[in-house]
Each structure stands twice: as structure tokens, then as C-alpha cells.
């Protein structure tokens, strides 16, 4: 019996494995928030907000993505290395979008017709 | 490392010090893969951004041809499948074999509902002549509406392909979970596959407003 405990300790590295046992009510709350935000984005699309329609849609989508990443994907309880990898991914995505955008919007009149 | 539980083979691979380290390595590997996926889809989102800014009217007109009810339903279905996936991981963490199998099956069922609705949408588009090509029919800026529909089919098609792969992974997991391969000590494959499934959900969270909801306030449909 003593051996059992020692063996388990070795396999877990002396401590319990980082347990991110998120309470179920957190999952349900996140689910409810995601559903509400989906309804909200459809509602917002029906309103005439001018150029802000796209902004509002993207802000809602990003909020939903962050909720999924933090809670469903357990990143809130993950290591700093995981955070660094995700931040790197987001950074490169923004580079891709913003560098391309800065090219197209500086090509002068006639290239883009902003609605 | 072996021999303590003779009835249970050691799940710790020899090149890791402990299960915690083994889990972190697997999860990190999946995250690195997901980052490549972010940039894979990112290229398509970039193309979408450039063409939508260049032809905003044509994109809005074309977007109005998409069905918000079907798209919205699918968004809800996919969010629901993310919840059942999270519950499957929760059950695995608790070592509850039956709930684990139940929630994995539910996740697969919801994934198939999503694909079913998607195929209904695709068949409508074929019937309405909205598939880019020689038979494309569109009243208005047809040339640039084709650009929208090209992006629509490539982006949703690639997303659907990810769903199909995900359902395949869930099927394998379900068999292994049924056989009792995952315990409260070792359930890394369930966790890591969950990361993939949630990522596919996130892609759709962006596709839905960007494809279905452009300038809907002006829609007279």
C-alpha cells in the first residue's frame, strides 16, 4: 500500500496533476452567454449602425471566441507557455490582416470604394 | 515505473517524468497545431476582408441570399456541441465512463445535425443558381457576387471538412472510452480532441456574422 502511494506520487510528479475541474455551472453560464451573444449579433445586424455594424459584429464574435478559449478550452487554468503560444498565434493573425489592410487602404482613390 | 498496478498498464510514456508533464506536452502540441490552423483560415479571412472592402454593395446583396434562420440554428447547434464536448471532458476527468460515452455521442450527433443543415443550405444554393460558375444566376452585380459565393463555399466547405474530421476523431474516442481506456488519471486524448472541436466552433463563430449578417438592416426579403 505504501508503495502504491509512492508510485502515484512519482507519476504525478509529487503533486496532483494540474486539475482544471471547472464546475459544471461555469460551463452552463458560458453556454448561456454564447447563446445570448448569438441572438444579440443577429439583432444588431438588423439595426442600421452605419459603419459600426461590422465593428459590433466583430466585437461580439471576439467576445464569444474569448469565452470559448478561456472556459471551454481551459486556457484560464493553463500554463504561461500555453498563453504565449496563443498570443503568438493571435499576433501573427493580426500581422497578416493589418499588413494586408495597410497595403490596400493606401493605394489611393479608385482602388477601394468604401461603402 | 511499472508493476504497481498489475491490472493496469502504465499510461506514462518513458520519455516523460510524470503524467502532468505528459499532459502539458500533448496540450501544447495541439495548441501549436491550432495556431497553424488559425493562420490557415486567416488567409481566407484576409481574402474576404480585401474583397468585402472593395465590393461592399455586391457582398451585401449576395449575403442577403443566405438564410439567417438556418445559419443561426447551426450556430446554436455548434455552441451546444461545444457544451457537450466540455461535458465529455468533465466526465473523463471524473472517470465516469458512461457519461463520457454519452456526451461524446451527443457531440457527434450535434455535429451531424450541423452538417445536415449545411447540406440543405448547399442544395438550396445549387437550386437557386448561386454556385459560382457558368450557371451562376444573380440579379445585380453578378461578377462580384460570385466572389462572395466563392469565398462562402470555400470557407464553409473547409469548416465542414474540419467538422467531418472532428466527428471521425469523436468516433474513435467513443470506442476507446467505451472500452474504458480513459480514467480519471489519464484522459489526455479526450482533452486534446476537445481543444480541436472548440477551435472549429470558434471558426464558425466568425463565419456566421461575416457571411450571413452583412448589412441586414437594408434587407428587403
| Burial of A111 from C-beta contacts in 10 A (0-12 / 13-18 / 19+) | exposed
Distance of CA B108 to the CA centre of its chain: 11
Question: Within the 28-87 window of chain A, which residues sit less than 8 Å (CB to CB) from chain B?
Answer: 28, 30-31, 34-35, 38, 41-42, 45-49, 53-54, 57-58, 60-61, 64-65, 68-69, 71-74, 78-79, 81-82, 85-86
Question: Within the 123-142 window of chain B, which residues sit less than 8 Å (CB to CB) from chain A?
Answer: none
Q: What is the mean pLDDT of chain A?
A: 84
* pLDDT of the residue at B10: 77
* pLDDT of the residue at B1: 45
Rounded CA-CA distance B203/B41 in Å is 8
B4 vs A4, A19, A22: nearest CB: A4
B93 in contact with chain A, both atoms CB, cutoff 8 A: yes
Rounded CA-CA distance B103/B170 in Å is 10
More confident residue, A6 or A44: A44
Rounded CA-CA distance B21/B25 in Å is 6
B28 vs A21, A57, A81: nearest CB: A81
Rounded CA-CA distance B52/B66 in Å is 16
- Write the ipTM: 0.91
Cβ within 8 Å, pair B198-A73: yes
pLDDT above 90 for A20: no
pLDDT above 90 for A9: no
B205 in contact with chain A, both atoms CB, cutoff 8 A: yes
Of B112, B111, B104, B113, which Cα lies nearest the Cα of B191? B104
Q: Which residue in chain A is spatially nearest to B197 when comparing CA positions?
A: A73
Which tens digits make up the pLDDT trace of B43-60?
A: 999 999 999 988 999 999
* pLDDT of the residue at B7: 46
Amino acid at each position: 500500500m505504501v508503495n502504491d502511494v509512492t508510485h502515484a506520487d512519482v507519476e504525478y510528479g509529487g503533486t496532483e496533476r494540474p486539475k482544471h475541474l471547472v464546475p459544471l455551472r461555469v460551463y452552463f453560464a458560458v453556454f448561456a452567454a454564447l447563446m445570448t451573444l448569438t441572438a444579440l449579433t443577429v439583432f444588431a445586424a438588423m439595426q442600421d449602425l452605419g459603419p459600426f455594424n461590422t465593428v459590433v459584429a466583430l466585437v461580439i464574435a471576439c467576445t464569444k471566441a474569448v469565452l470559448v478559449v478561456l472556459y471551454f478550452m481551459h486556457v484560464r487554468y493553463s500554463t504561461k507557455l500555453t498563453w504565449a503560444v496563443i498570443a503568438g498565434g493571435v499576433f501573427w493573425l493580426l500581422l497578416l490582416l493589418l499588413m494586408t489592410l495597410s497595403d490596400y487602404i493606401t493605394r489611393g482613390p479608385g482602388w477601394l470604394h468604401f461603402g | 515505473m511499472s508493476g504497481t498496478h498489475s491490472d493496469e498498464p502504465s499510461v506514462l510514456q518513458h520519455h516523460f517524468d510524470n503524467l502532468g508533464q505528459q499532459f502539458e506536452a500533448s496540450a501544447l502540441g495541439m495548441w501549436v497545431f491550432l495556431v497553424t490552423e488559425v493562420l490557415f483560415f486567416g488567409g481566407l479571412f484576409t481574402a474576404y476582408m480585401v474583397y468585402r472592402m472593395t465590393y461592399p454593395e455586391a457582398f451585401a446583396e449576395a449575403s442577403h441570399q443566405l438564410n439567417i434562420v438556418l445559419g443561426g440554428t447551426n450556430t446554436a447547434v455548434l455552441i451546444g456541441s461545444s457544451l457537450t464536448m466540455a461535458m465529455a471532458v468533465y466526465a473523463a476527468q471524473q472517470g465516469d465512463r458512461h457519461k463520457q460515452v454519452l456526451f461524446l455521442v451527443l457531440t457527434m450527433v450535434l455535429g451531424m445535425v450541423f452538417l445536415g443543415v449545411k447540406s440543405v443550405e448547399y442544395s438550396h444554393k445549387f437550386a437557386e443558381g448561386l454556385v459560382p460558375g457558368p450557371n451562376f444566376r444573380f440579379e445585380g452585380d453578378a461578377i462580384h457576387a460570385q466572389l462572395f459565393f466563392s469565398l462562402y463555399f470555400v470557407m464553409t466547405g473547409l469548416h465542414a471538412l474540419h467538422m467531418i474530421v472532428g466527428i471521425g476523431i469523436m468516433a474513435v474516442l467513443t470506442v476507446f472510452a467505451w472500452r474504458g481506456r480513459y480514467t480519471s488519471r489519464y484522459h489526455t486524448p479526450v482533452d486534446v480532441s476537445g481543444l480541436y472541436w472548440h477551435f472549429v466552433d470558434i471558426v464558425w463563430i466568425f463565419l456566421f456574422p461575416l457571411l450571413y449578417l452583412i448589412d441586414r438592416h437594408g434587407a428587403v426579403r
